[in-house]
Structure 1
Amino acid sequence: MNQVIACIDGIGESAAAICDAASWASLRLEAPLKLLHVLDKSQYPTETNLTGSIGLGSREALLEELATLDEQRGKLAREQGRLMLEAARERAVEDGIAEPLVQQRHGDLVETLNELEVDTRLLVFGRGGAGQSLGHQVEAVIRALHRPMLLLPGEFKTPQRFMIAYDGSPTARKAVEMVTRSPLLRGIPCDLLIIGPSTHDVKMELKHASEQLQQAGFELNAEILAGDVEETLLSEIDKRGAELLVMGAYGHSRIRQMLVGSTTTNLIKHTQVPLLLLR
């Protein structure tokens, strides 16, 4: 469990941002960097079987032509991936990575990442959407893997301040513990926020998490705020100048209306800063 893996499956700025973020994390964690491109087997199958899909007459000729076209598409996609990986490798070297690894796989993305999970310390990938990497598979990746994940909405810049969205759940407690143990965010000022009622139990949860972070040497501002969870977090990110949001992924909270699965999904969709998801 020692590699930073960057999914270079997008085209353009998102691939560059993924590479920059992964290089930053690799240097902070002192972990090797692997740049990964997965060619989706559902879009680019190695074998084309169209038997029975075309009527009589010119069926054999059409089958042969379609198979040839599929083969050409696959070759072009592999070459495009190879070029993206080479560009990412060059960018990683510019970012200070001495020997970035590159790997191209043909298969299912989630299955591939599951195979690599045992050697994954951090997975870096894009949020998805038009022109960005992963797209509709983002949520499937997040639910399938049990490793820290850094999800990028677009551009990346080295965070000078980060925010932890905390709810007192086991997942959130583990996330705080992981932050305190890891060198990834060490030395960066932190805002620790609970969005919910200011009850005695909630205050104790905040106090416990704050003490852990302060003992680990973090410069910390900790608060309990009222309001809608998603709207308040997104607003506070802007107000406080946080450049990274940290939270547990798909946890179930003891504090009502805090970070449940749907909130995680909505924050993935709407946050404009990188999101570090911890399991």
Structure 2
Amino acid sequence: MTEQVMAAIDGSQFSTAVCDYAAWASLALGAPLTFLHVVDNHPQTAEPDLSGNIGLGSREHLLEELSQLDEQRAKVAQEQGRLMLQAAKERAIEDGVSAPGTRQRNGTLVETLDELQDEIRLLVLGKRGETAHQASEHLGSNLERVVRTLHRPILMVPEAFTRPERVMLAFDGSKTTRKGVEMLARSPLFNGIPVHVVIVGAETGDNRSQLDWALATLREAGHEAEGAIRAGEVEETLRVYQEENAIDLLVMGAYGHSRIRHLLVGSTTTAMLRRAKVPVLLLR
């Protein structure tokens, strides 16, 4: 089974950026691209069940009509999805992808991705879905569940595509982030793109040797790499470094026993993901 770049699209304002980042990743990785649309027939924002309020006599007739309405709604959602998939496919072809595929499934996004994860090399999805609140610091609930469920790299993208030219890896020397450095070194995704490795912490001998190892690993694989050790609060320190160095893609480990882990999987959705104005690649 060929692993592919899979891009989850819906009716949100993030979908065009999802298409463009997915096309970029597919071309950089030399991997096939598939667009996925999931029709959730029981969305969280479903209309209330009014069947209990229907009066005597007309009850059966109205229940039948409600059932027909549900069926119509499902058909419309499927047709909308087909049109979105076709538009995404055409956009990817314009971006240079030769034969993007499309898939439409019924169910929930999280369950569907869990079933398909053996086929996924990289998942691309928007910061929020079409039913999420539009406030800029809200994160789609689907995204948080997907991050917790999937054991594949996930690229979370903002509303507009910018071709990545400087990448930052948040590194803490943990097993997860060391694996992230090795994965990044092997991957053609960032060929020709400078990689900044940043440790948030004190300037200690251990931190320095961890940073030296990371930079050597990347450079041996042919990447241009530079690094920094900065003291401070994790989220703010990374954000300041990102702004100072015009970083346009952030790479983080999604799990691991570290301060960076608590950023991503604490009980509240993390400031790092919520406030990110650039794409974030989460490594598992």
TM over 0.5: yes
On the 8 A contact 1:163/1:246 being kept in 2, the answer is yes
Provide the rounded CA distance (Å) in 2 between the counterparts of 1:71 and 1:92. Answer: 32
Q: Within 5 A, what are the aligned runs for 1:162-173?
A: 162-173=167-178
Q: Which residue pairs with 1:79 in the alignment?
A: 79
Shift of 1:53: 7.0
1:186 pairs with one of 171, 188, 191: 191
| C-alpha contact 2:168 2:197 (8 A) present in aligned 1 | yes
Deviates more, 1:16-25 or 1:244-253: 244-253
Structure 2: unaligned runs, 5 residues or longer: none
CA distance in 2, matches of 1:83, 1:263: 34
1:127-166 pair list within 5 angstroms: 127-128=127-128, 129-130=132-133, 135-166=140-171
The equivalent of 1:93 in structure 2 is: 93
CA-to-aligned-CA distance 1:8-27 (integer Å, 9 cap, x gap): 12334x11100000000000
Structure 1 gaps, min length 5? none
Contact 1:35–1:101, Cα closer than 8 Å, also in 2: yes
The equivalent of 1:260 in structure 2 is 261
Provide the secondary structure at the position in 2 that maps to 1:121: strand
Give the drift of 1:79: 1.3
Structure 1 residue aligned with 2:69: 69
- Asked whether the equivalents of residues 41 and 107 of structure 1 are also in contact (C-alpha less than 8 Å), the reply is yes
- Structure 1 partner of 2:7: 6
1:200-215 alignment to 2 at 5 Å?
A: 200-215=205-220
Distance (whole Å) between structure 1 residues aligned to residue 107 and residue 205 of structure 2 = 51
For 1:63 and 1:120, how far apart are their aligned partners in 2?
Answer: 42
Shift of 1:135: 2.3
State TM-score, norm by structure 2: 0.89
Query: C-alpha offsets along residues 127-163 of structure 1, whole Å, 9 cap, x if unaligned?
Result: 114469x922111001100111110022121111110
> Does the CA contact (< 8 Å) of 1:249 and 1:261 recur in 2?
no
Structure 2 letter corresponding to 1:273: V
| Identity value in percent | 52
Contact 1:165 1:192 in 2 (8 A): yes
Query: Secondary structure of 1:246's match?
Result: strand
CA distance in 1, matches of 2:15, 2:22: 11
Matched, 1:226 2:231: yes
Q: 1-side partners of 2:91 and 2:104: how far apart?
A: 17
Tell me if structure 1 keeps the 8 A contact 2:37–2:81.
yes
Could you give the per-residue CA deviations for residues 100-149 of structure 1, whole angstroms, max 9, x where no partner exists? 101111111111101111111000000114469x9221110011001111
C-alpha separation in 2, matches of 1:223 and 1:135: 32
Name the CA distance, whole Å, in 2 between partners of 1:56 and 1:230. Answer: 59
Per-residue deviation, 1:55:
5.8
CA RMSD of aligned residues (A): 2.0
Return the alpha-carbon distance in structure 1 between the equivalents of residues 108 and 178 of structure 2: 32
The Cα shift of 1:54 comes to: 4.9
2:21 is matched with 21
The size of the alignment, in residue pairs, is 269
**2:176 is equivalent to residue 176 of structure 1:** no
Q: Is the 8 A contact 2:248 2:279 kept in 1?
A: yes
Aligned residue type for 2:272: L
The answer to which of 168-177 and 263-272 deviates more is 263-272
- Match of residue 104 from structure 1: 104
The 8 Å contact of residues 230 and 266 in structure 1, kept in 2 or not, is answered as yes
